């Protein structure tokens, strides 16, 4: 089973990139974030013609997530149960016996912002949700744009970013709580090139300078992580004309 995550920064703008990527990437399921469209405007038919069904939690203008899968999806669940949130950031489904959670974590804007307070609260809720899922599903994966760079080696210039949102101690503590519950960062199971990132700022020639962050992740329960055979960032779509600022992350599992 091969699964991936990609923040597409508007599915309207990036639909052709997604279709082109699906035609070559050979993934069974792809978790999408930042659709920026409501479910009524989701291109279900176009993706179905490409061989993929969709589970969608849409929102106009902001946020919005989907799982597209060429394998059957069961028990589709939108949002974090029992967590009141206007923002459509989470959708889950079971695919080939693996519980897949697709999430667009809040950005936080700045440490002084109300959005940062919201992010920390949301991270608490996500940790609770993952804890409950771990008790129910031996094979669990959480894929998405976490908006957290877990370690300094995931940051192109740690000194410049120190104390900023995406790397702050409280955000990294929430990441550590996920890991402490038993979730495993599939990317770090393998030897990786130095300075591998998944997001690069549109400004300042960020991609050309490789001035990026690794903030898109695939975490797996220990039983599933034990079956992980590869995990890589695919930089190719970031080189296209009018790219998303994020690149896909892909993982293979022997399930």
Which residues lie near DNA (CB under 7 A)?
Answer: 7, 9-10, 12-13, 34, 36-37, 60-62, 106-107, 109-110, 115, 145, 147, 165-166, 199, 201-204, 213, 215, 242, 245-246
Instruction: Select 132 or 239, whichever has its Cβ closest to DNA.
Output: 239
Establish how many alpha carbons lie within 13 A of residue 95's alpha carbon, considering only the half-sphere containing its beta carbon. Answer: 29
Other residues' Cβ atoms within 10 Å of the Cβ of residue 95 = 22
Instruction: From 121, 177, 113, select the one nearest 150 (Cα to Cα).
Output: 177
Instruction: Select 68 or 106, whichever has its Cβ closest to DNA.
Output: 106
Instruction: Select 113 or 229, whichever has its Cβ closest to DNA.
Output: 113
DSSP, collapsed to helix, strand or coil, labels residue 235 as coil
Instruction: Select 99 or 246, whichever has its Cβ closest to DNA.
Output: 246
Q: How far is the CB of 133 from DNA (least distance, A)?
A: 23
Give the whole-angstrom CA distance, residue 159 versus residue 177.
Answer: 24
Instruction: From 121, 126, 167, 171, select the one nearest 144 (Cα to Cα).
Output: 126
Instruction: Select 67 or 148, whichever has its Cβ closest to DNA.
Output: 148
Q: How far is the CB of 11 from DNA (least distance, A)?
A: 8
Establish how many alpha carbons lie within 13 A of residue 62's alpha carbon, considering only the half-sphere containing its beta carbon. Answer: 7
Q: How far is the CB of 73 from DNA (least distance, A)?
A: 25
Q: How far is the CB of 142 from DNA (least distance, A)?
A: 17
Give the whole-angstrom CA distance, residue 169 versus residue 172.
Answer: 5
Locus of tokens 């979730």: 183
76, 54 in Cβ contact below 8 A? no
Q: How far is the CB of 30 from DNA (least distance, A)?
A: 17
DSSP, collapsed to helix, strand or coil, labels residue 137 as coil
224, 95 in Cβ contact below 8 A? no
Q: How far is the CB of 86 from DNA (least distance, A)?
A: 12
Instruction: Select 95 or 103, whichever has its Cβ closest to DNA.
Output: 103
């Amino acid at each position: 089973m091969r699964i991936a995550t990609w923040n597409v920064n508007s599915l309207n703008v990036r639909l052709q990139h997604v279709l082109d990527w699906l035609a070559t990437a050979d993934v069974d399921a792809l978790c999408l974030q930042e659709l920026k469209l409501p479910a009524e405007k989701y291109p279900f038919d176009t993706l179905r013609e490409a061989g993929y069904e969709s589970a969608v939690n849409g929102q106009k203008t902001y946020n919005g997530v989907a799982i597209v899968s060429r394998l059957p999806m069961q028990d589709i669940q939108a949002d974090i149960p029992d967590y009141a949130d206007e923002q459509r950031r989470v959708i889950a489904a079971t695919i080939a016996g693996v519980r897949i959670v697709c999430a667009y974590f809040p950005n936080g804007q700045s440490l002084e912002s109300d959005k940062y307070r919201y992010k920390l609260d949301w991270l608490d809720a996500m940790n609770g949700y993952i804890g409950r899922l771990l008790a129910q599903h031996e094979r669990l994966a959480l894929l998405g744009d976490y908006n957290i760079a877990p370690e300094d080696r995931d940051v192109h210039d740690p000194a410049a970013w120190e104390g900023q949102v995406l790397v702050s101690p409280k955000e990294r503590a929430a990441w550590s709580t996920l890991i402490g519950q038993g979730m495993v960062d599939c990317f770090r199971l393998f030897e990786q090139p130095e300075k591998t990132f998944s997001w690069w700022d549109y400004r300042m020639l960020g991609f050309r300078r490789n001035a990026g962050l690794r903030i898109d992740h695939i975490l797996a329960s220990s039983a599933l992580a034990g079956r992980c055979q590869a995990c890589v960032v695919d930089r190719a779509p970031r080189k296209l004309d009018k790219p998303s600022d994020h690149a896909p992350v892909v993982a293979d599992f022997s399930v």
